[in-house]
Amino acid sequence: MIVTIAIDVPIFQLFDYTWNQEELLQLPQIGNIVKVEFRSKITTGIVLQIKADNSCSNDQIRTLKPILGIGSNLNVTQQVINLCQFSSKYYLKPLGETLFTSLPSDWKKPNKWDLLQKQKLKEEEKSQNKIPNNNKDYEWNLNEEQIESLEFLKQSSKRKKFELTLLKGITGSGKTAVYLTWLKEVLKNEKAQCLILVPEINLTPQLEKIVKQVFGNEEVTVLHSDITSSQRNIAWWKIEKGVSRVILGTRLSIFAPAKNIQAIVIDEEHDNSYKQQDGLRYNARDLAIWRASELEIPIVLTSATPSSETWHKVLQKKISLLTLSKKAKEGASLSKLNLIDLGLARKNKKINAYGLSDKIHEVITQTQKNNKQTLIYINRRGYAPILYCKTCSWKSSCKKCSAWMVVHKKPGSNRKVLQCHHCGCYQYVPQSCQECGNQDLETLGIGTQKIEEYLKEMYPEIKLIRIDSDSTKTKGSAEELFKKIHAGEPAIIIGTQMIIKGHDFQHIQSIIVIDVDKSLYSQDFRAVEKIFSQLVQVAGRAGRGEAAEGANIYIQTEFIDHPMFKALAEHQYDQFITDIVNERQEYQLPPYTHQALIIAESKSEQINNEALNNLKHYLDQDLLESIQISDPTPRVLQRLSGVDRNQILIETDDRIKLQKILEKALDYIEVIKKKSRSIKLQIDRDPIQF
Ligand code: ADP
Ligand code: ZN
Ligand code: ZN
């Protein structure tokens, strides 16, 4: 027999191999993982088609190589193959590469196959001997709004067709409670499975714990980047077999091999971590919608601050909207917004050398007196963003990237180092300026460590807890620090984005936000939408539990009149995001248009631009109407790890036209790939980073 397979190589082509049944001891099946020789190397492939011998001439058959082995019991399901076929076409990546991106990495390694088989048998045995634990599942006493939403979703499942619903509600309004209760209903069908996608950063032990409590008697499979490869293998098997009916995971879980998904939830649908930024640049939210429509099942997106893309669909009535408007917990309250006018503070000399206004001290002192916690939110880790020489204006730029090297204090010592957050390169802070010899180098700007140092000096008696990716590097350290916060002693917490999602803090009364201004007038057209959602998340950390009363958020800004602050103060997200969507129409931006980037990477900007210009010329030749192609521009971070990056932006209001032109671009890219190894061209469809 002859089988057509997709191979784990970046080539847009499928390949035929012969299948020798006597040697392989089984008949081929669609989805089999196989070992083959390809261009004198051993690699893996996936069977996509089975043909009878007589479909090829003998001469043709003689030129074919044989399949060398099969990963017994490793099968890619038809559903996953379909999803990968769509992804491959949409994101313009070879099918083989796409399929193997979707699988646990051990599946690619024939030398691991025996081990996988053993693991599986062991698990099979375990699951057979499993005694049901008759836990009592956790349940909420849902409020009226929640019940209404739940009823709507239940009706939606009954219709057994594709339906898209947005469950919108302020943080703590009980969205999680609603969708988990709904999924429990769905799982009353004994075979049904459900999929809950969460952003990478949101996958806290807290959510995992709640899901496990709610589905007390179900195997909950949790998938994220920190699980071991053996955990991943076992998870894949349990999901495929239907042993695990609840799948909770980050973006890659959209490729989970569940055969009987009846409902999908995308939690915090606006979150950027649903978009993969390299390799197969897919957006898991969008793929989830595709998968739900294929399966004809309901899918629910949740958010306090829906993305403009999703809101656009609400306005077009393509999504049903459910709203939860109150805090679910008795006594919980929304925090009140206070703006600190930096311009005025400066004029009145009420600001210190660190750029912190006097008001911040008032807040810290008062909160301490109230026996509560203050959270200082600054999305910048390290000591200071730049090292600077006042004499000659030298700044600590990275040699390999177009970025500054950030000053960090080494833990446990006073020595400082410079570190590039993009390429990771690293050196001690020089004793003197490398350009002029000046020994008096300064730091510019402020990061979490500098604030920590300053506050320690100002308030030696107050406990300080710093949470950023540096302070939580070692295993278990994040949990340790979170435990300290939950213990409830008055404290100042200094945190980056790590702290703002999914935590149910009970003792934070005051929140101080430093450094939002750069996002208000950024080049990125989505910046305001993003910062709004961050601020709502941050604000949601206060006003809970014991600290419900008198919860306040203070934001330092030069731009107190920015419309975003008004919307934030009045908790008027709908109008705010509607205005943004309308503005996008006016400027012809997504969601009104569809975009794709073609990114060139090489050792020089000149090589990139030449290639991009040639490509543009090639595409321009029969430019379809209403497609815009920009001139080459540098990426926002132009140089990364010694590689120069430039791009052209393709924009149109017609998805089909975009598909066509990208396929044409791909032909060109494939030709370049064969000709030259010194430049790499890639397509990023629906980009969110520029
Ligand atoms: P969201 O997902 O909207 O942020 P959650 O569902 O996590 O909100 O609910 C926030 C908190 O309120 C949780 O501690 C949850 O257990 C609790 N909660 C949810 N619904 C109710 C309810 N009907 N009654 C009491 N507490 C509730
Ligand atoms: Zn100098
Ligand atoms: Zn660098």
The tens digit of pLDDT for each residue in 621-648 reads: 766 678 999 999 999 999 999 999 999 9
Task: Confirm or reject: Cβ of 172 under 6 Å from ligand 1.
Answer: yes
The tens digit of pLDDT for each residue in 435-486 reads: 999 999 999 999 999 999 999 999 999 999 999 999 988 888 888 999 999 9
Q: Which two tokens stand for residue 2?
A: 């002859």
Q: Is the pLDDT of residue 56 over 80?
A: no
Q: Which two tokens stand for residue 419?
A: 């570190």
Q: Is the pLDDT of residue 497 over 70?
A: yes
Q: Residue 650, SS3? A: strand
* Nearest atom in ligand 1 to 267's CA: 2
The tens digit of pLDDT for each residue in 143-152 reads: 999 999 999 9
**Is 683 within 8 Å of 659 (Cβ atoms)?**
no
**Is 245 within 8 Å of 92 (Cβ atoms)?**
no
**Separation of alpha carbons 203 and 182, rounded Å:** 20
Tell me, what's the pLDDT at 105?
A: 92
DSSP states of 11-68 = -S--EEEE--HHHH-S---TTEEEEEEETTEEEEEEEEEEE-GGGS-HHHHHHPPBP-
Tell me, what's the pLDDT at 148?
A: 98
Tell me, what's the pLDDT at 206?
A: 79
Name the phi and psi angles at 279, rounded to 5.
60, -125
Average pLDDT score over residue span 416-427: 95
Tell me, what's the pLDDT at 57?
A: 78
- What is the DSSP-derived secondary structure letter of residue 572? -
**Separation of alpha carbons 659 and 682, rounded Å:** 15
Q: Which two tokens stand for residue 170?
A: 């302020």
Task: Confirm or reject: Cβ of 262 under 6 Å from ligand 1.
Answer: no
**Separation of alpha carbons 264 and 256, rounded Å:** 12
Q: 132 pLDDT band (50/70/90 cuts)? A: low
Atom 10 of ligand 1: nearest residue by CA position = 172
Q: Is the pLDDT of residue 587 over 70?
A: yes
Q: Return the ∠ at Cα 274 (arms to 268 and 275), rounded to 5°.
A: 145
Instruction: With residue 452 as reference, give the H or E element that holds it.
Output: helix 448-458
Question: For residue 139, what are the contacts with CB-CB under 8 A and spacing of at least 6?
Answer: 181, 214
Tell me, what's the pLDDT at 502?
A: 66
Atom 5 of ligand 1: nearest residue by CA position = 174
Tell me, what's the pLDDT at 204?
A: 66
CA of 646 from ligand 2 middle (Å) equals 31
Task: Confirm or reject: Cβ of 310 under 6 Å from ligand 1.
Answer: no
β-bridge mates for residue 644, sequence order: 602, 639
The ligand that comes nearest to the alpha carbon of residue 392 is 2
Instruction: Please give the model's pTM, rounded to 2 decimal places.
Output: 0.94
Amino acid identity at 187: L
SS3 for 363-387 is: HHHHHHHCCCEEEEECCCCCCECEE
Amino acid identity at 166: L
Residues lining ion ligand 3 (Cβ < 5 A) are: 398, 400-401, 420, 422-423
Tell me, what's the pLDDT at 623?
A: 67
Radius of gyration of the chain, Cα coordinates, nearest whole angstrom:
27
The ligand that comes nearest to the alpha carbon of residue 638 is 3
Tell me, what's the pLDDT at 338?
A: 96
What's the CA dihedral at 212, 215, 216, 219 to 10 degrees? -80
Atom 15 of ligand 1: nearest residue by CA position = 174
Asked if residue 591 has a cis previous peptide bond (ω within 30° of 0), the answer is yes
* Nearest atom in ligand 1 to 173's CA: 3
CA of 404 from ligand 3 middle (Å) equals 8
**Separation of alpha carbons 625 and 156, rounded Å:** 40
**Is 229 within 8 Å of 105 (Cβ atoms)?**
yes
Task: Confirm or reject: Cβ of 504 under 6 Å from ligand 1.
Answer: yes
The ligand that comes nearest to the alpha carbon of residue 171 is 1
Q: Is the pLDDT of residue 134 over 70?
A: no
Long-range contact set of residues 621-625: C-beta below 8 Å, sequence gap at least 24? 624/652, 624/657, 624/660, 624/661
CA atoms within 13 A on the CB side of 173: 23
Task: Confirm or reject: Cβ of 394 under 6 Å from ligand 1.
Answer: no
Q: Is the pLDDT of residue 650 over 90?
A: yes
**Separation of alpha carbons 498 and 481, rounded Å:** 12
Tell me, what's the pLDDT at 232?
A: 92
The tens digit of pLDDT for each residue in 263-298 reads: 999 999 999 999 999 999 999 999 999 999 999 999
**Is 446 within 8 Å of 386 (Cβ atoms)?**
no
The ligand that comes nearest to the alpha carbon of residue 330 is 1
Q: Return the ∠ at Cα 200 (arms to 254 and 328), rounded to 5°.
A: 95
Q: Residue 263, SS3? A: strand
Q: Is the pLDDT of residue 589 over 90?
A: yes
Name the phi and psi angles at 226, rounded to 5.
-90, -5
Tell me, what's the pLDDT at 202?
A: 59
**Is 635 within 8 Å of 650 (Cβ atoms)?**
no
Average model confidence (pLDDT) across the chain? 93
Tell me, what's the pLDDT at 478?
A: 87
Q: How many CB atoms lie within 10 A of CB 623?
A: 12
Closest CA to 175 of 51, 283, 302, 359: 302
CA atoms within 13 A on the CB side of 584: 23
Q: How many CB atoms lie within 10 A of CB 652?
A: 22
Long-range contact set of residues 486-489: C-beta below 8 Å, sequence gap at least 24? 488/373, 488/546, 489/463
**Separation of alpha carbons 166 and 144, rounded Å:** 18
